[in-house]
């Protein structure tokens, strides 16, 4: 029974780590983060979808998921350029993932604080380029974890963004995962932080449906920026972020849009409604559940309908018409 519970937990965790594997290679512009560790700072890449004829008054910042890349936002970016050019989109390469310019750092993270500092630095860059625009963090899967916890880590009284979109956030561990199992992962991460393990080893070969037509193991094989093994401290960090999501929800003070697929393996509708219920009553929050969708909403068969919902929400944000 214990072995089965451990396997179920590791399968769910490994699948969530692989949630954003796609088949296209990224192209990116490099940006210097001088506040990062090291005398010369560090660089990371990004992509952008900005109209050549219209200055955006709302800019989304995309934070991709585990084993993903900035190119995961291509479908959304192209939709915005066509249907709502006043909304711009930037998406950067998350530290420790397959497009990290420091190869030896791929598959690892020294501390989740590094993710938050990168997001703060990139937000500053976007604000400098578009000083009159509202800035919205748009995190998917692991990116939603980073955005949520970065909000909580921002200086008191200083809102780091003007609104948040959380697409397929993993807000709690499934009920079939015993409460002690995440703690076991933390022990392993503390004991052997730099030890690496593959997603196949974690999942025991079990597949999880990610869209109507794909499972995560098939996507990983096509992914040119796939990281074969990840450190236990990175896996432990993600476990802690998932465990802290509901506490963070109580601290949101800017409009929030939460997107969820009804067939998402990791959380159900009740889990997400519980998360949304923890957001303060004074904070405008919108929850959208798509019953036939899976985890990867930006690749969903009906993604255009999802993007239209995002555009309607953004349009209400720009007009100041979001309500509690």
Give the pLDDT score at 177. 63
Q: Which of 157-161, 169-173, 187-191, 255-259 has the highest mean pLDDT?
A: 255-259
Q: Is the pLDDT of residue 324 over 60?
A: yes
Does residue 6 contact residue 181 with C-beta atoms inside 8 Å? Answer: yes
Distance (Å, rounded) from C-alpha 107 to C-alpha 97? 6
Q: Are strands 134-140 and 58-63 parallel, antiparallel or unpaired?
A: parallel
Residue 61 lies in a domain: yes
Domain containing residue 286: 2-318
Q: How far apart are the first and last CA of the chain?
A: 45
pLDDT tens string 5-43? 445 544 455 544 443 333 333 344 555 554 444 434 467
0.95 surpassed by pTM: no
- On average, the pLDDT of the chain sits at 83
Does residue 126 contact residue 58 with C-beta atoms inside 8 Å? Answer: no
Going from the C-alpha of 313 to that of each of 22, 85, 173, 255, 258, the distances in angstroms are 27, 15, 29, 10, 11
Distance (Å, rounded) from C-alpha 52 to C-alpha 312? 22
Show the beta-strand stretches assigned E in the chain: 29-33, 42-49, 58-63, 87-92, 134-140, 163-167, 196-198, 209-211, 214-215, 229-231, 256-261, 285-290
Distance (Å, rounded) from C-alpha 280 to C-alpha 268? 21
What average pLDDT does range 112-125 have in this prediction? Answer: 95
Give the pLDDT score at 225. 72
> Encoding tokens for residue 94?
């998350």
Residue 141 lies in a domain: yes
Kindly provide the b/e burial profile for residues 172-182, where b requires at least 16 CB atoms within 10 angstroms of the residue's own CB.
bbeeebbeebb
Residue 324 lies in a domain: no
Residue 169 lies in a domain: yes
Number of structural domains (the chain) is 1
Task: Count the residues in the chain.
Answer: 324
Residue 323 lies in a domain: no
What SS3 class is residue 75?
Answer: helix
Q: Please count the other Cβ atoms lying within 10 Å of the Cβ belonging to residue 321.
A: 9
Q: Is the pLDDT of residue 309 over 70?
A: yes
Residue 309 lies in a domain: yes
- How many separate helices (H) and strands (E) can be counted in the chain? 11, 12
45: which strand partners? 30
In which band, very low, low, confident or very high, does the pLDDT at 187 lie, cut at 50, 70 and 90?
A: confident
Q: Is the pLDDT of residue 84 over 70?
A: yes
Residue 211 lies in a domain: yes
pLDDT tens string 188-221? 777 777 888 877 666 555 676 676 666 655 665 6
> Encoding tokens for residue 37?
């560790």
In which band, very low, low, confident or very high, does the pLDDT at 56 lie, cut at 50, 70 and 90?
A: very high
Residue 236 lies in a domain: yes
In which band, very low, low, confident or very high, does the pLDDT at 133 lie, cut at 50, 70 and 90?
A: very high
Looking only at Cα atoms, what is the longest distance across the chain? 61
Give the pLDDT score at 168. 96
Q: What is the CATH number of the domain that holds 216?
A: 3.40.50.1820
């Amino acid at each position: 029974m214990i072995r089965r519970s451990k396997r179920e937990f590791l399968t769910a965790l490994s699948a969530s780590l692989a949630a954003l594997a796609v088949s296209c290679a990224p192209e990116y512009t490099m940006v210097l983060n001088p506040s990062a560790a090291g005398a010369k700072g560090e660089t990371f890449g990004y992509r952008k979808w900005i109209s050549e004829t219209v200055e955006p008054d709302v800019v989304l910042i995309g934070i991709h998921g585990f084993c993903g890349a900035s190119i995961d936002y291509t479908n959304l970016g192209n939709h915005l350029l066509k249907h709502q050019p006043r909304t711009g989109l930037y998406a950067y390469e998350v530290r420790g993932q397959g497009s990290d310019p420091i190869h030896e750092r791929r598959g690892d993270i020294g501390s989740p604080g590094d993710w938050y500092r990168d997001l703060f630095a990139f937000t500053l860059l976007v604000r400098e380029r578009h000083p009159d625009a509202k800035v919205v963090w748009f995190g998917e899967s692991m990116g939603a974890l980073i955005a949520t916890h970065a909000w909580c880590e921002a200086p008191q009284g200083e809102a780091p963004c003007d609104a948040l979109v959380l697409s397929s956030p993993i807000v709690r561990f499934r009920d079939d995962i015993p409460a002690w199992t995440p703690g076991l992962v933390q022990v392993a991460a503390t004991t052997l932080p730099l030890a690496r393990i593959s997603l196949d080893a974690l999942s025991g070969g079990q597949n999880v449906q990610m869209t109507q037509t794909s499972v995560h193991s098939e996507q990983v094989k096509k992914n040119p920026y796939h990281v074969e093994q990840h450190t236990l401290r990175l896996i432990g960090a993600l476990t802690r972020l998932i465990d802290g999501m509901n506490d963070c929800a109580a601290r949101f003070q800017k409009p929030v849009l939460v997107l969820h697929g009804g067939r998402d393996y990791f959380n159900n509708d009740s889990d997400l409604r519980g998360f949304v219920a923890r957001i303060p009553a004074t904070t405008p929050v919108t929850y959208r559940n798509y019953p036939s969708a899976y985890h990867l909403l930006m690749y969903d068969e009906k993604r255009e309908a999802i993007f239209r919902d995002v555009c309607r929400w953004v349009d209400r944000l720009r007009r100041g018409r979001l309500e509690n």
